[in-house]
Amino acid sequence: MSTARSTIRQTIGRLLGTGINRAIYVGTPDGTYATTTFGCAALALEENDFFIDWFGRFYAGTHKDIDFEVTDSAKTNGVITFTPTLGAVTDATDLFELHRFDGPSPAELNTLINMAIQQVETWALEDKVDDTKETVASTYVYDLPTGFYTIEEIYFEESTADLYKAGSLQDPKGWKILRAATERLWLDQNIITITATRNIRIVGQSKPAALSTDAGTTNVDPAYIVQQVLAWIYQAQGNDKMFAIAQAIADRERKKIYVRPRGQLV
C-alpha cells in the first residue's frame, strides 16, 4: 500500500513531540482569508504570538506544496500571519501544517524522507511493466524505456492488440541488455523472430522513486522511513538514547522490505 509524503511527514512531526512540547499542528483554514493570513478555530487554544517563527506548509488545496514562515499569530479566531505573500488569497482547501521553530522544517523533512527512500532503493524494488516499444522489421536492437533496474521477461504482442500469451514469452537465451551511455535491448536473430509493428512488453523491476510533491506516494514501508528520519534527527540533536531506539527500529523494519532482484540488471 502506498503512502503520501504529507502523511509520512506529519507522522514524523507527531512523534517528535507531544503535550506542551507538541511539534506539529495540522488543520484547515476556516476564515480570515488573505494572501498573508488565514484563520483556524483549532489554533485559538494557543495564546497570542505562540506560533511566531514556526514553519508552515500547505500540503493540499489551492496552495499545495508551498512553504511559509509564521510572522504573527492571534488567539482570537486562531489567525496566522505568514510570509512570503501568496499570489492568491488562502481558502478552505488549503490544508496546512505548522512545525515548531526549533525543529526540522517541512523542506528539511522532505529531504530526509527522500534520503531514507534512496538508502533502500535497491532493496525495496517495485514491479515494472512497459509495452511502449514497437518492433521494426529486421531490427534487433532497441532503446530501453527508462526506469528499469532489472528486466526479467520479454513478450511480443499477439496479432490481437494488447494480447500477450505465455507463448509470446521470448526465450531468455535470445536477448540481453547492452550497457552503454544508453542501455539497449539486444535480440538474437538466430533465436527470436521479429514480426513488425508488434508491441514489446518488458517486465522487470524499478527502484522506488523520490517524492517531489506532498500528494506523491511511495510503496516503501512508512514505518521504516519514519523511524530512519527520526534517527537522523535525534542524532543531529545529540540525543543518543532516542537515536539508538529509532535506529534499531529502522534497521528492523528495513529487513522486512527486501525484494530479491529478478532477471538481468540494467
Quote the pLDDT of residue 227: 98
Quote the pLDDT of residue 20: 84
When pLDDT is cut at 50, 70 and 90, the band that residue 69 belongs to is very high
Give the angle subtended at the CA of 74 by the CAs of 70 and 75, to the nearest 5°.
130
How far is the C-alpha of 55 from the C-alpha of 76, rounded, in Å?
20
228 lies in a domain? no
Q: Please name every residue paired with 14 in a beta bridge, in sequence order, or none if there are none.
A: none
Q: Is the pLDDT of residue 91 over 90?
A: yes
pTM: 0.93
Q: Is the pLDDT of residue 179 over 90?
A: no
Short-list 202, 174, 179, 200, CA closest to 189: 174
89 and 157 belong to one structural domain: no
Quote the pLDDT of residue 253: 97
199 lies in a domain? yes
How far is the C-alpha of 177 from the C-alpha of 42, rounded, in Å?
57
Coil, strand or helix: which one is 199?
Answer: strand
130 and 202 belong to one structural domain: yes
92 and 158 belong to one structural domain: no
- Residue that the C-alpha cell 529487513 belongs to: 255
159 and 92 belong to one structural domain: no
Residues 6+ apart with CB under 8 A from 28: 40, 92, 94, 95, 96
Q: Is the pLDDT of residue 257 over 90?
A: yes
Strand order through the sheet with 24-27:
24-27, 96-99, 55-58, 66-74, 79-83, 37-39
Residues 6+ apart with CB under 8 A from 94: 28, 29, 38, 58, 60, 61, 62, 63, 64
The cell numbers describing 171, all together, are 526465450
Quote the pLDDT of residue 212: 98
Q: Please name every residue paired with 130 in a beta bridge, in sequence order, or none if there are none.
A: 202
Q: CB–CB of 212/113 below 8 Å?
A: no
163 and 199 belong to one structural domain: yes
For 109-120, the pLDDT digits (tens) are 999 999 999 999
When pLDDT is cut at 50, 70 and 90, the band that residue 4 belongs to is very high
133 and 192 belong to one structural domain: yes
Domain termination site, one of 183, 206, 229: 206
- Residue that the C-alpha cell 492571534 belongs to: 74
88 and 147 belong to one structural domain: no
Q: How many domains does the chain have?
A: 2
Which residue range forms the structural domain that includes residue 177? 126-206
Q: Is the pLDDT of residue 79 over 90?
A: yes
Domain termination site, one of 51, 69, 102: 102
Query: What type of residue is 11?
Result: T
DSSP conformation class of 265: E
135 and 191 belong to one structural domain: yes
146 and 181 belong to one structural domain: yes
Helical (H) or strand (E) element with 128 = strand 126-134
160 lies in a domain? yes
254 lies in a domain? no
95 and 43 belong to one structural domain: yes
Helical (H) or strand (E) element with 93 = none
249 lies in a domain? no
74 and 139 belong to one structural domain: no
2 lies in a domain? no
90 lies in a domain? yes
84 and 131 belong to one structural domain: no
Give the angle subtended at the CA of 43 by the CAs of 40 and 48, to the nearest 5°.
115
